[in-house]
Structure 1
Amino acid sequence: MQQYFQVYYLVISTFFQKISRNFLINLFFQPSNMTNQASSNQLAPALGYQKIPVQQQHIKKLTVDLLAGMITGWVSVITLQPLDMIKTTMQTSSNKQSILGCAKEIYQKSKMKGFYKGMLFPLIGSSFFSAIYYGSNEQMKKLICFLSNHKYDRTSLPLQYVFFSGSFAGLTTSCVSIPIEHVKIRLQTQKNQQYTGSIDCFKKILRNHGVVGLYKSSILQLSRDFIGCGSFFVMYDITKRYFKKQNNGELDKLRLFLSGCVAGMSYWPLCFPLDVIKTKMQSDSFVKPQFQNIKDCALQIYRYENRGFLNFYKGFLISNIRSIPNSAIALFTFENVLGFLSKLFGIQKPKH
């Protein structure tokens, strides 16, 4: 295990020294007097580790981050799957439906189990997805601070650092979430019971259409996650700072929960049209596709019923109804589980 993490940080160090250091600094930060070469022993403290090889205490910290992320993912999927099912049904339906009307239709067809259709795959992937999502966000913040000669303080980072770290976290998890979302959408929108479950759907798409089929419309999801996740973490930080300023530097559990709600509201406004196009493309038939490409799909959505740009926000309300509690529950769960596990493992809890 120690050898694995040693190799991991050496690879990250080499990558950013040789490829990304100058690009990131020139694009996002003011010029600094940083030396041209940063050794792996310099990089390790910037990431919260004292030296390489990685010591037991630092492995504990990473383990706590990963476990907190895993638990957060499970809680989010189980509690909010019904709202996600309603959102997908509304986006792919050719009929104009209200939220309650859509929920009623799902219940009449399949009872309560209809709201949890396609949940197995997201539940399996959520542990890995959530752990990498929160972990990569924190590590990227530390790395950017190191590259720009900026002192790392989790509670007061420049917002451009926060945005880029959040966007990076979104991109790192997309490699897992793209096929998971694709399988989920196929199951939620199928009309002839072509797939018996998540595993069956995954196998059939992979066998008949290969990896390219699984990652259909990946560019749309990558763009969505880059914009959405960056906005998400920026608003989370802004709201926490506001509450702390109003409360003498303290952030209680209620204000922490409300900060998550605000973060949830900020995810969708800019990137929702990308999600609508992605959902349409991923639910389209492989055999007789309705859409030739992304541009054709966007044009057909725009022209449908002469509603223009409003069609790109079909299902926006239910997405926010889902996103607000999802973000609040996820961030609240992560912060509290992180605190509990930190105490359990005997390490210092990070500041909010």
Structure 2
Amino acid sequence: MDFVAGCIGGAAGVLVGHPFDTVKVRLQVQSVDKPLYRGTFHCFQSIIRQESVFGLYKGIGSPMMGLTFINAIVFGVQGNTMRLLGQDTPMNQFFAGAAAGAIQCVICCPMELAKTRMQMQGTGEKKSSKRLYKNSLDCLARIYNREGLWGVNRGMVTTLIRETPGFGVYFLAYDVLTRSLGCEPDDRYMIPKLLFAGGMAGIASWLSTYPVDVIKSRLQADGVGGVNQYSSIADCVRQSVRREGYMVFTRGLTSTLLRAFPVNAATFATVTLVLMYARGVEEGPQDCEPAQTSHHAQIQQQAQPSSL
């Protein structure tokens, strides 16, 4: 039931956060010479006006498809790593989260490649006249046919660099915040505290790795128009800084931070409700004892959103 709750919670997070992710990707990869969007809110308005509300949900099939596999990997690796490390300390939470983040890249990288390509398809068009990809699976199949396994895993190195410390910071921040806020069996604000901790941990995680995410998005979107602009990670960094300055690494950050809090809040709220319904309210908050695994620690291990 814990696995099911985590998957449902993750799906809720994807539904809430995907429009913000679409805006983030569009801002990260738009041309500096002919920018389509002036900022986060202008990008939102433009997509809705030109492509309808559904334009914000382009590419949602890919994260939804990969959700179950990613959650299974994250849950298993994080739980087993914590058992191997023995003690439930903030630093062990960081190492366990980093291990989970690194291993789930096997699914995360192709999933985000398809998501990015779908989000860029038909930019500025309500009805795209030339749809290169029918859906996320078709996108990955076409990339594989043209470029093989290497093409499907485009951006794997940057994904690893982002996800490994990113998940580590997420687990660490969430653990520190939940310990600081306290968890009492009769605390009526326990769930809001968990939601706040999850949302803030997500923000901390994105802030720690955001520049890498900008490069990852640019590498994965490279070649969409038929021309490859970057030959490597270093070349992408060099060209981006030369043309746009160091502020390029903050492209789409507002949208990302706006997305981070509600995504984590939706995930934790859904997981909490599903677990309470399945186990009964009496089994939920009453496990919060210092010497035992707390209820919020259990939810922490079982409800991590796939891309923070």
Q: What TM-score do the two structures reach when normalised by structure 2? A: 0.82
Counterpart of 2:204 (choices 251, 254, 266) is 266
Structure 1 residue runs without a partner (length 5+): 1-63, 151-156
**1: CA distance, partners of 2:267 / 2:242:** 37
Indicate whether 1:295 and 2:243 are aligned. Answer: no
Indicate whether 1:323 and 2:260 are aligned. Answer: yes
Match of 1:182 in 2: 113
1:192-219 deviation line (CA, Å, top 9, x unaligned):
5321221221110111111110100101
Indicate whether 1:106 and 2:106 are aligned. Answer: no
Q: How many residues align?
A: 275
Question: Where does 1:299-310 land on structure 2 (aligned, <5 Å)?
Answer: 299-305=238-244, 308-310=245-247
Question: Where does 1:65-144 land on structure 2 (aligned, <5 Å)?
Answer: 65-94=2-31, 95=35, 97-144=38-85
Deviation at 1:188, TM superposition (A): 1.0
Deviation at 1:73, TM superposition (A): 1.8
Deviation at 1:248, TM superposition (A): 9.2
Q: Quote the sequence identity (%).
A: 29
Deviation at 1:340, TM superposition (A): 3.2
Q: Is the 8 Å Cα contact of residues 16 and 262 (structure 2) preserved in structure 1? A: no
1:45-67 deviation line (CA, Å, top 9, x unaligned):
xxxxxxxxxxxxxxxxxxx2321
1:121-158 deviation line (CA, Å, top 9, x unaligned):
2112112222332343233212211xxxx4xxxxxx22
Deviation at 1:249, TM superposition (A): 9.2
Residue identity in the other structure for 2:66: G
Across the aligned residues of Structure 1 and Structure 2, the Cα RMSD in angstroms comes to: 2.3
**2: CA distance, partners of 1:105 / 1:214:** 30
Structure with more contact order per residue of length (Cα contacts < 8 Å, sep ≥ 6) = 2
Question: Where does 1:130-209 land on structure 2 (aligned, <5 Å)?
Answer: 130-145=71-86, 150=87, 157-191=88-122, 192-209=130-147
**2: CA distance, partners of 1:315 / 1:290:** 20
Match of 1:34 in 2: none
Residue identity in the other structure for 2:107: V
**2: CA distance, partners of 1:228 / 1:267:** 5
Q: Is the 8 Å Cα contact of residues 13 and 262 (structure 2) preserved in structure 1? A: no
Q: Is the 8 Å Cα contact of residues 129 and 177 (structure 1) preserved in structure 2? A: yes
Residue identity in the other structure for 2:17: L
Residue identity in the other structure for 2:191: K
Deviation at 1:343, TM superposition (A): 4.1
Taking a change above 3 Å as real, the CA distance of residues 82 and 312 of structure 1, as seen in their structure-2 partners, is same
Q: What TM-score do the two structures reach when normalised by structure 1? A: 0.73
**2: CA distance, partners of 1:137 / 1:331:** 17
